[in-house]
Amino acid sequence: MRIEANSLIELLAKGPAESGLATLEMCREMWLKSTLPLPLAEMLRLRVAQLAKCEYALHIRFEEPVEAGLTEAMLAQIHEPERSDLPESWKLALQFAELLLTNPEAISDAYYAEMLLHFPEAQLVEMTYFITHNNVMHRFCVAMQVPPPNGDKIEWRRLGLPVTKAAQQAASKSRSAQA
C-alpha cells in the first residue's frame, strides 16, 4: 500500500515539515545557482528521469530552459546523444549522466580529461551533484509511486519559488563576485 499523494509536494508535506521544505529549497537553489546552461540542465534532469523510469519527472517541463532555447526536438535526442546533433559538450554530459548512474566504474581518467576540455572542474563537480541528486529524487518518486502531474509545467512558480533567468543571472554575478 502506498502513501496517498497527488504530487511530490503533497507527499513531501506528509513527512516532517523541515525535511520537505529543505528538499524543495535545495532543488530551488540548484536551479538558481547553477552554472550549467539551463537547457542542458533540463536535458540532464530528464535523462536521469528516463533512466530511473520516473513518470512524474518525465511529465514536468520547467519554463526557464524552454525560454533559454530548449526544444522538444532537442529533448528527443537524449536517448542516444552520441548520434544527435547536440553540441559536443552536451553529448558528453548526457553520456556522463548515463555512465554515472549505470556504470560509474567505467568513467576513466581519460573520460574525465575529455569532460574537462568542455567543462571547468567546478562545473563538472556541480554536474555530478546535479545528476546524482536528481537520481535520488526520481527514485524517491518511483518508490513512493508519485503519479504524473496533471499538466503541471512549473512547480517552482506554483510554490512561489520562482526560478527565472534574471534570478539565475543575479546568482551567477553574486557567485563571480565572491570568487
Mean pLDDT of the chain: 81
Question: Where do the structural domains in the chain lie, given as residue ranges?
Answer: 8-178
Rounded average pLDDT over 52-75: 88
pTM of the model: 0.80
Residue reference for cell 520562482: 162
Pairwise CA distance, residues 3 & 6, whole Å: 10
Rounded average pLDDT over 158-179: 42
What pLDDT does 31 receive?
78
Highest mean predicted confidence (pLDDT) among 61-70, 71-80, 114-123:
114-123
Whether the per-residue pLDDT at 179 is higher than 60: the answer is no
As given in the structure block, the three cell numbers for residue 107 are 568513467
Pairwise CA distance, residues 168 & 175, whole Å: 10
pLDDT for 110-140, tens place per residue? 999 999 999 999 999 999 999 999 999 999 9
The CATH classification number of 8-178 equals 1.20.1290.10
pLDDT for 83-109, tens place per residue? 999 999 999 999 999 999 999 999 999
Pairwise CA distance, residues 52 & 19, whole Å: 22
